[in-house]
Structure formats: structure tokens, C-alpha cells
Chain A
Amino acid sequence: MVDTISDPSDDALLDVEGLRKYFPIHAGLSRRVVANVRAVEDVSFAIPRGKTLSLVGESGCGKSTTSRAVMRALDVTGGSIRFRRQSGEVVDIAGLSRAQMKPLRSEIQMVFQDPFSSLNPRMTVADIIGEPLLVNGIDKRQDRVDRVAELMRRVGLPAQFMQRFPHAFSGGQRQRIGIARALALNPSLMVLDEPVSALDVSVQAQVLNLLLDLQDELALTYLFVAHDLSVVKHISDQVAVMYLGSIVELADTCALFDRPLHPYTEALLSAVPIPNPRKRSARVLLRGEVGSPIKPPPGCPFHPRCAYAQDRCRTEVPRLERTAEGRQVRCHRAHELDLSGVGSMERPV
């Protein structure tokens, strides 16, 4: 069953529908498949060109697996990933082979979480940023050097540092190198997996600002994966909340933060520490732990932890429903619950 999400006619750059990714568990001598880890179960979303959609959720919710499937760093179990190429052609990359995928790689690029392990310590910055150019046929050294210098300036790094090695740079500067490398081939879609969570607070703000500026200047489309809801609020046009492999709610950023429709979203928002000591509020504390993706709870996967669960939630899997405002929610009681969001508040300083 695929819940329909977006009209095929709209101008989405990326349109994911019914995405599934199972990891088989083998056992015994025959390496028989005894079970599947359902890392991603029926995930659908679309990102318009130039916009940012964030996937949020706790560890193990499938947000990173989803982003890796979109990159085709993983083979998918089911569903479609329609990507609009720069030529205007729309391709379903879920079914492409490695060779067929290759020409698309330059249009979808990734920035990783840890700038300390994602850069080769034995390569100079010029080589790191220039490697995608070399691979894609820019053979003349001077052309590459010029382009690297331009990219470095674009991400706010002094171009004269291009012959240095990554260890000479701070965490924030390394993340800028990673961003410059991703930009080298003029991608239209950037997959950003926790790009600021390893950075210091003051540097985190700089990198977020850089990402916002680059999006403005280059009309980039971001698929942003993060666990920090404050960061997500800042960068996103739309937010999809995931729980145990499924999207439980998807909405415009402000709508989701102000008026969540799913109890899990409410709990997630209420757990965020607010940087205001006069605002130590009562929380919706979640009981227990995330269920197992191998044997998810029957009915709604969130029901064992949900404060609003009823009998129906324990047996019947809720469908993804679309509301009039174009929001999506997967909860039996979404229309009757009145959940609280983060509210409004003035910043203390």
C-alpha cells in the first residue's frame, strides 16, 4: 500500500514514495533469512526545488537509512525515488544499476557528520576538493586549482590554505571543506546528514548560516537529517518526524512546531531543553524505549509509549492521512487530540 503524497505534476526535485529498506538477518548454516530489520517502512515525501526538508527522530528511527537510500548508497527494498535531473528529465533512481547511477552522482552530493573522519588526512585540501573534478574529467590542473580556489572562497575559507592538510583546520573549517567538496560538481540536491552536530555552538551557527546562504545563491535543495530540533527549526521549510522506520508526521516547519498533530511529535518537542531558565516547563515525558524494528509492536508502533493510546491503536496500524492544510499524520486520533507545541517566547538575550 502506497499512500499518495504529492501530485506527480508538481515541481518537486525529489519525490520519494513508499520507500522501504529491509536488512535481512541470516541464521544457521544455510544463512537462511530468519527476519528483517525494517529500517525504513513506507516512507514518502517530496522536496520542491530550492527548499529544505528535514528528517528528524531518535537514533534507529531510519532517518539516516532514508538519506542513504536517496543517495543510492544502499539498494532499496521497495518504493520509488523520483529525481528531476538538471536536464529536466525525471528518473526513478530506486531501480537504477550502479552504472546507470553514475552520471547522476554529480547532481546529488552528500555532507557527512564528522569532519574529522570524512576527510582523507593524507590529501591536501586542494586534492580533496579537486578530486570530484578530476573524476569528472576536468583534466587540466590549472582549471582545477582555479575552481578549488573559487569553491574555498565560496564557503569562507582562505584560498591560500589549499596546499594544507585537514589536520591544520578546526572542526568548523573542516566541515566547510566537506561542503566545498560537495559543491564542486554543481549538484542540485545536497544530502546533509547531521552536518553540524559535531561542531561547537559558536561554529554551528556559522555553518548553518553558510548553508542558508549557499541555498539562496545556488538554489540548492537540501535533505537535512538531524536529531537536534532547534537546528531543524532554523534550516527547514518542511519537517518529517520519523519513528521506527515510518514518517509519523510531516508538515511545514512552523505548523509542526506550533501545533503538532502526532503525540510523538509533541513528546519530542517537549523534550527539547529551552535556553531560558524562566521557562522550565512541565514535560510530556515518554515512557519506556523505542520498540524493535525487527518485531515492531502491533498496531501503531508508537502505542506502547503513547499517553493517548486507545484499544484501536493497539491493533490497527494507522494510515498516513492528509489534512486540508497539506499536512500528513499517521495517528488514529490526530483529528480529536489537542496537542501542544513549543509556543512562542522571547529570547532572553
Chain B
Amino acid sequence: MVEELTVKHFEITETARGPKQMNGAPVLSVRDLRTHFFQDEGVTKAVDGVSFDVCPGQTVGIVGESGCGKSVTSLSILRIVDPPGRIVSGKILLRREGGGGVTDIAALPANSRALRDIRGGEIGLVFQEPMSSLSPVHTIGSQLMEAIRLHTHLHESAVRERAIDMLRQVGIPQPEQRIDSYAAQLSGGLRQRAMIAIALAGQPRLLIADEPTTALDVTTQAQILELLRSIQEETGMAVALITHDIGVIAEMCDYVIIMYLGRVVEQGPVDQIFFSPKHPYTEALLRSVPNVHSEPKTRLPALAGSVPHPLHRPEGCPFHPRCARFMPGTCERSQPRLTEVGPDQRASCFLYPGADHG
């Protein structure tokens, strides 16, 4: 029943674009992932050819504006894309624990046992809004204990103790009492901590955090980011962080993937991305972010226009109508390919040789 693809012909490392600190083979390798939504109005190519690796102990950031496909990418990894959305092609390769081979999550049957073991087991997920992703009618404790029961073989008598222990680990004060609280009785920060505890219950090797701090205040955000960092340091867990916040990316990530309308426009080590961005979109995006260091009352170098509706993705390079370096006759004709533009850095732009083959 478990469809394990012990795969030799997937060359995972060949295309692995080097994280600065390679802590062994990637936990997760996404290859040319395409997730499309089939609606009456047409097909939305929410994710259209995304490839990246996440290594143990590494934090990979996926950043972009609304409609860029960052969230659908994370939902695809866990196979929880709702219809009419469907993964149409690509591979999501999860390296199993202890040399257990490689599983292609994209090829597992929906609702299979194997898939359920991966969700919450090997891959944990933290959502943006803890209020709507936690059950309002179950206590924090019962939701956490359910996750512990599902993913560990602890004896029933030890489960509650483990739950209290986990709540303490994520910094919830008085965990013995809080375990019996409902989500609505906790503040936003404590709710997000509880959510993280639940995501960690199965001791995942990869944590997907989808806008984990967007709904939180800035001081609470700093606490939660610190918590994620310290957990990662302790456990060596890999983290895929999905966010629209450039500051959070700079703060947390080793490797950054920048998406625009379903496609990767640039990916590379965080330092390269911030100090030597190659794609015009990356550069414009970074420039347009307000900064606590900037001079007050000055105009920001804003990007012109807004993100087009995903149903009406422009032909050729999807960014060309807003691009300051648009080259007529080239950019609107065909889609540029991701091509090497620096050490471990790739961009999909016709400014760079190699973008126009294939």
C-alpha cells in the first residue's frame, strides 16, 4: 500500500542549487512542480514549474506577492490542494528517515496511509491564522494529544505529559493549566505557539510555515521567529518559510525563492539575493520595501502597475508589462528559463545568456 519509489533515476543532487551550509542531502526536492486550477473561466496556472531543495537545518524562504503561488506550493507539498486545483506534473521527493529511500509525494494516492503519515509526521505545517486553523470546540490539549497519538507510539498515560512538555517547549506559560484552554481563550501569540507545538508533535524533519507571523504584532512576531530559530537549532529540522515580508526573509532564511505569477523568477542564497539581485523584479521588489532606516517623507521607488489577474497571465515573461528593462520582441515572445547567474544563483530573465534555450 505504501508506494515507495526507491528511486535511483531521480538525480536529486544534480540540480540541487547549493544552500550555503549543505547539511547532508536535501530532505525535500521539488522538481518542476505544476499545480493548476481548472475553473469555468479557464485554467489558472497557480504554480507553473517550480524546483527547489530544502536541506536539514536549512531555512528556505518562498516570497512573492499575492497570486504568485507561494501558498499553493506549500499546499501541494502536503497534497492538500482543494479542487478544482490539481497537481498536473512534477515531483515532490521526500527523502525518508534513516536511509529509507525517496518517496514522490506527488505520486502517492490521495488519502493513502503513507500520505497521512507524512502529513504531520515527517512534514509539519503551521498556518497563518491560528484562530481559524485550530478547532474552536476542542481544547488546545486535545488537539495536541491527538497529533501526538497519531505520530508517536507513546503509551496513553504518557501522552498528556508529553503534551504539557511540548507546550512548555514552545514557551507557553503555565502549560499544566493552558492545556485545557480553548483557542479563543489564548492570545494570538500563544495560539500560534500552540499551533507550532501541534506541528512539532510528530517530530517532523521539515516544517512548512505559511505566513506564520503575518497575523501577529511585531513584538510577538519577533518572539515566534526566535522560537522557530531555536527549535531548528535544537532539532536540525528543515524549514520552508512562506511569506510576503522581505524583512522576515532577511532575518530567517539561508536560501530564497522569489515567485511571480506561478513561476520562480529568481532563487539563490539570501546574501546574493539581497546584495546582488539579478532579476529586475527582485531588484524592484527589494527597493520598494519601506525601511526603518530610510529618510522620512521621501517617495519610495515603487514598481509600476499591479500583479495581473492569474487568469490573464501575460504572454512570454509574466513580468514584462511591469519591467523597467523590457526588451520588445524578446520578453513578450517566450518564457525565459531559469539560468545560472551567479554562485548558486539562478534567474529567469532574457538579460542573461541561457534564458532563451528550451
Q: Does B292 contact A (CB under 8 A)?
A: yes
| C-alpha spacing A277/B250, complex, angstroms | 4
Q: Does B352 contact A (CB under 8 A)?
A: no
Q: With A201-B65, A342-B292, A348-B275 as known contacts, state yes or no: A234 contacts B217, CB within 8 Å.
A: no
Q: Which of B263-299 contact A (CB under 8 A)?
A: 270-271, 274-275, 277, 283-294, 296-299
Which of B250, B253, B300 makes the CB contact (< 8 A) with A209?
B300
Q: Which of A240-294 contact B (CB under 8 A)?
A: 253-254, 257, 267-280, 283, 285-286, 288-290
Max count, chain B CB within 10 A of own CB: residue among A202, A269, A278, A290: A202
Q: Are B218 and A271 in contact (CB under 8 A)?
A: yes
Q: Are B307 and A272 in contact (CB under 8 A)?
A: no
Residues of B within 8 A of A5 (CB): none
Q: Which one of A9-17, A223-231, A311-319 is at the B interface?
A: A223-231
Q: With A268-B218, A271-B218 as known contacts, state yes or no: A276 contacts B292, CB within 8 Å.
A: no
Which of A172, A267, A286, A288 makes the CB contact (< 8 A) with B306?
A172
Q: Are B274 and A285 in contact (CB under 8 A)?
A: no
| C-alpha spacing A344/B294, complex, angstroms | 9
Max count, chain B CB within 10 A of own CB: residue among A170, A270, A276, A345: A276
Q: Does B133 contact A (CB under 8 A)?
A: no
Q: With A170-B306, A271-B221, A275-B274 as known contacts, state yes or no: A342 contacts B293, CB within 8 Å.
A: yes
Range of interface residues on chain A? Answer: 35 or more
Residues of A within 8 A of B189 (CB): 289
Q: Are B251 and A202 in contact (CB under 8 A)?
A: no
Closest chain-A Cβ to B278's Cβ sits at a distance in Å of 11
| C-alpha spacing A52/B297, complex, angstroms | 9
Q: Does A306 contact B (CB under 8 A)?
A: no
Which of B187, B219, B246, B277 makes the CB contact (< 8 A) with A201?
B246
Q: Please, how many residues of chain B have a CB less than 8 angstroms from a CB on the other chain?
A: 53
| C-alpha spacing A288/B277, complex, angstroms | 38
Residues of B within 8 A of A268 (CB): 218-219
Q: Are A267 and B219 in contact (CB under 8 A)?
A: yes
Which of A201, A209, A229, A278 makes the CB contact (< 8 A) with B292?
A229
Closest chain-A Cβ to B261's Cβ sits at a distance in Å of 12
Q: Are B292 and A272 in contact (CB under 8 A)?
A: yes
Max count, chain A CB within 10 A of own CB: residue among B223, B244, B249: B223
Q: Are A212 and B288 in contact (CB under 8 A)?
A: no
Shortest Cβ distance from A264 into B: residue: B219
Q: Does B314 contact A (CB under 8 A)?
A: no
Q: With A235-B297, A254-B296 as known contacts, state yes or no: A230 contacts B247, CB within 8 Å.
A: yes
Residues of B near any A CB (own CB < 8 A): 65-66, 173, 187-190, 217-223, 225-226, 244-251, 253, 270-271, 274-275, 277, 283-294, 296-304, 306-307
Can you give 13 A-B contacts (C-beta < 8 A)? A52-B297, A59-B217, A201-B65, A205-B303, A233-B291, A254-B296, A269-B292, A274-B251, A275-B247, A275-B289, A280-B251, A288-B173, A289-B187
Residues of A near any B CB (own CB < 8 A): 52, 58-59, 170-173, 200-206, 208-209, 212-213, 227-231, 233-237, 253-254, 257, 267-280, 283, 285-286, 288-290, 342-345, 347-349
